[in-house]
Amino acid sequence: MAKISKGILGAFSGKVGPVVGSSWRSIAYMKASPKKANKKSKRSAAQIANQQKFRFVSEWLVPFHPYVSIGFLNLSNVKSEINLAFSANFHRAVVGEYPDFSIDYSKVVVSKGELGGLTDPSVVLTDSNLLYVSWSDNPSQRVSYDDQLMLVVYCPELGIADGFVGGTKRADKECRFKFNQKMIGKALEVYVSVTSFNRKRIANSIYLGRIAP
């Protein structure tokens, strides 16, 4: 049974015959009712591989959720930030064939946008769990020096991420970050980006490389 919230001319939610009504972020949608799967039909090898690739990326992306939720915020008019991040990395960062999928960390996308990025960013490990990130000033860029830093540190071995958004400005040209002690002695993949103070603009993320143990 479907419900009409604003009278006969309004959007509806629920199932009416072969049509299903729903809404997301106050936008009304209609779509065909999904057909019942034929349980007797066997999935092809390609279908199984694609399903496992979806599962692989979904599980791998979980530690990045707090960061990609901001990193894809300005592109999420129809799809959610997580779905956009999933799609970007599904098509770009996954390598290998089923069942041997892996991630090319140099191609991982943590944020995507039109804001100017940092100039010549670099990272070094200065203590067992302390990263030093620096970048250059670029007077030719038409950006605000109040832009906020986003730093993401991921440990493939443990499947966990650490980092922050805000607290360090583009104008600072450096920052130090003490990451999760569980990551000490592990290989780390590091990403950096910047977002405007009001979060309305963001830069493409930059891969700073691997910190080897």
Structure tokens at 81: 């930030």
What 8-state DSSP symbol labels residue 110?
A: S
CA 53 distance to own-chain centroid: 17
Write the single-letter amino acid at 130.
L
Which pTM does this prediction carry?
A: 0.81
C-alpha to C-alpha distance for 49 and 135, rounded to whole angstroms: 41
C-alpha to C-alpha distance for 180 and 153, rounded to whole angstroms: 9
CB 73 within 8 A of CB 193: no
CATH superfamily of 45-211: Immunoglobulins (2.60.40.10)
Query: What value, to the nearest 5°, has the Cα angle with vertex 85 and ends 160 and 190?
Result: 45
CA 96 distance to own-chain centroid: 21
Which strand ranges, in their side-by-side order, compose the sheet holding 188-195?
160-169, 148-155, 188-195, 206-211
Q: Which of 74, 70, 62, 209 is nearest to 131 (CA)?
A: 209
- pLDDT per position as a tens digit, 51-68: 999 999 999 999 999 999
Q: What is the dihedral of CA 27, 22, 29, 9, to 10 degrees?
A: -80
Instruction: Report phi then psi at 49, rounded to 5.
Output: -65, -40
Q: Which of 92, 97, 42 is nearest to 205 (CA)?
A: 92
The domain ranges of the chain are 45-211
Q: Which of 200, 81, 109 is nearest to 146 (CA)?
A: 200
pLDDT in tens for each of the 213 residues of the chain? 556 666 555 665 677 666 777 766 666 666 676 766 556 678 898 899 999 999 999 999 999 999 999 999 989 788 999 999 999 999 999 999 999 999 999 999 999 999 999 999 999 999 999 999 999 988 888 889 899 999 999 999 999 999 999 999 999 999 999 999 999 999 999 999 999 999 999 999 999 999 998
